[in-house]
Amino acid sequence: GAGVSQTPSNKVTEKGKYVELRCDPISGHTALYWYRQSLGQGPEFLIYFQGTGAADDSGLPNDRFFAVRPEGSVSTLKIQRTERGDSAVYLCASSLHQGSTEAFFGQGTRLTVV
């Protein structure tokens, strides 16, 4: 596809369950970013990848959160033992490389933990 694709668009899960959120970046984009956006807040940086490696994961809130990008394209954000406070919209963005003039955002995955 032409843009950044995130699946699923909505996910409802029970407290304590494990979830995976997927991001398909624009083809050829080497930099990929994950954010979390709560209602009324700006996107909160979680992690960014340059290629396959996590160049900066300082925004991951705790060890329940983990992200991978094994082939330098698709990325998966994994959340273990979900808590109600994890409910938010999870946004993914990609850019040609880190520091490019534009990062393109997906529509996000709305995660609701009940």
Name the site residues for other proteins (rule: CB under 8 A).
33, 35, 41-45, 48, 56, 58-59, 91, 93, 98-99, 101-108
Q: Enumerate the β-bridge partners of residue 35.
A: 45, 91
- Smallest distance from the beta carbon of 13 to other proteins, in angstroms? 22
- Smallest distance from the beta carbon of 23 to other proteins, in angstroms? 13
Which CB sits closer to other proteins, 20 or 57? 57
Distances (CA, A) of 109 to 9, 12, 70, 79, 98: 4, 10, 21, 13, 23
Q: How far apart are CA 101 and CA 110, in angstroms?
A: 27
- Smallest distance from the beta carbon of 81 to other proteins, in angstroms? 26
